[in-house]
Amino acid sequence: MSAPRQEPSLSTRFEAWWLTWKAKMAIVLNQKALALSFFDDVLRLIPDSAHAAASRAFLLAEMGRHAEAVAQLEQLLARQPEDASSWFNLGYLLDLAGDDQRAFDAFEKAIRLNAQLDRAHYGLALSAIKLGKTDTAIAALRQNTQLQPMSPHGWYQLAMVHFKQNEFSETSRIIRHLSGFEPKVAEQLRRETGLSDA
């Protein structure tokens, strides 16, 4: 039986906050290596800091160090396997790296842990499209658009999946729906599909 995690002291949390602030300023100044070192210091103080680990992972990815970025999140998830946001972040990084199946699996895990995580449904759908899992993509996009009804991204992808399945009436219905709140996206779909919303 492992010992319960001890909460960091107030002074440790303040030092971690200060280092995080310095890391953010370094990012603003485009000093990514310096920001990385500040996040390293935060993780030495608070090894379970999901924010520092995720921030460090995204910095690594921006620097083209995708394998290290993925490893950073995998280490965090080894300690915090029930963190849906970290599973989403891992899926996102795996998707950037072109590892479609592992990205799909990570997005699925995020959804199992938090079915309300709309971004995970969207990520799952994009991975499913790449893997040729059309039914899964449609289900995930429907869930995404239910959770984020005013975001055009899920609607656009859903229309394109239906279009590629030759389901033109459903594609037109989505174009008509988008016309009410995202006319530019609706027009883009009209151009790309040759369909109207009639």
One digit per residue, the tens of pLDDT, for the chain of length 198 reads: 444 567 889 999 999 999 999 999 999 999 999 999 999 999 999 998 989 999 999 999 999 999 999 999 999 999 899 999 999 999 999 999 899 999 999 999 999 999 999 999 999 999 999 999 999 999 999 999 999 999 999 999 999 999 999 999 999 999 999 999 999 999 999 999 999 766
Cα 62 → chain centroid: 15
The pTM (predicted TM-score) of the whole model is 0.86
110 lies in some domain: no
User: Measuring CA to CA, which residue among 98, 35, 29 is closest to residue 70?
Assistant: 98
179 lies in some domain: yes
182 lies in some domain: yes
140 lies in some domain: no
Burial class of residue 53, CB neighbours in 10 A (0-12, 13-18, 19+): buried
77 lies in some domain: no
The domain of 169 spans 149-198
Number of domains the chain is built from = 1
103 lies in some domain: no
